[in-house]
């Protein structure tokens, strides 16, 4: 595994539609492993292959749901690795939330996203998976899948601003 460089605007790879992956090969698994290491080192909660300069449809997401009740121990984060992810169902409800991005460092924006979604794709082993996500996890998946379409959060944001360091640290960046 290796940490890869995260590309930032105005790198043109961030604006390209990523290519579909024909099969999950050893090369793709290496890309996934490198992306996980890069995401954790950043640190972030998600990363799309275009963010490391690779225009293929691969994303990684790692997120820990908050405890259900105050005083409960923190839940361990869950890692998702998806090849050719696709949103197949969206709840009608949308919510606004503040997002940041490792490829647009220093900026935050308020973005409206679907409250819950269902995603399908292939896992690291090349097997089909279906994931139902709600809340912040759904927001992360939508943000990462947008990267595969060449769309950045700043394109969807109603307002974008330069974040202060503490504010940026409090927002889980992808």
Segment 42-87, tens digit of pLDDT: 999 999 999 999 999 999 999 998 887 888 888 899 999 999 999 9
State the pLDDT at residue 167.
Answer: 57
Tell whether 73 is covered by a domain.
no
Tell whether 2 is covered by a domain.
no
Joined tokens for residue 171? 């927002």
Tell whether 51 is covered by a domain.
yes
Tell whether 7 is covered by a domain.
no
CATH code of the domain covering residue 51? 3.90.45.10
Catalytic residue among 144, 149, 159, 169: 144
Q: Helix/strand/coil (H, E, C) string of 78-137?
A: EEEEEEEEEEEEECCCEEEEEEECCCCCCEEEEEEEECEEEEEEECCCCCEEEEEEEHHH
State the pLDDT at residue 96.
Answer: 97
For 44, the domain range is 12-63+78-170
Determine whether 110 is an active site residue. no
Tell whether 41 is covered by a domain.
yes
Tell whether 69 is covered by a domain.
no
Segment 116-162, tens digit of pLDDT: 999 999 999 999 999 999 999 999 999 999 999 999 999 999 999 99
- Please state the domain count of the chain: 1
Tell whether 122 is covered by a domain.
yes
């Amino acid at each position: 595994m290796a940490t890869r460089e995260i590309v930032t605007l105005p790198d043109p790879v961030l604006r390209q539609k990523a290519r579909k992956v024909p099969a999950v090969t050893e090369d793709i698994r290496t890309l996934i492993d490198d992306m996980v290491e890069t995401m954790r080192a950043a640190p972030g909660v998600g990363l799309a292959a275009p963010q490391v300069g690779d225009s293929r449809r691969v994303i990684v997401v790692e997120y820990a749901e908050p405890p259900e009740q105050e005083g409960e121990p923190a839940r361990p984060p869950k890692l998702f690795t998806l090849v050719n992810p696709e949103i197949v169902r969206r709840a009608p409800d949308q919510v606004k939330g503040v997002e940041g991005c490792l490829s647009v460092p220093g900026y935050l924006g308020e973005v409206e996203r679907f409250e819950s979604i269902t995603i399908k794709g292939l896992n690291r082993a090349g097997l089909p998976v279906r994931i139902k996500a709600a809340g912040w996890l759904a927001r992360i998946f939508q943000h990462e899948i947008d990267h595969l379409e060449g769309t950045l959060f700043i394109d969807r944001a109603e307002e974008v601003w330069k974040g202060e360091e503490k504010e940026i640290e409090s927002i889980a960046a992808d």
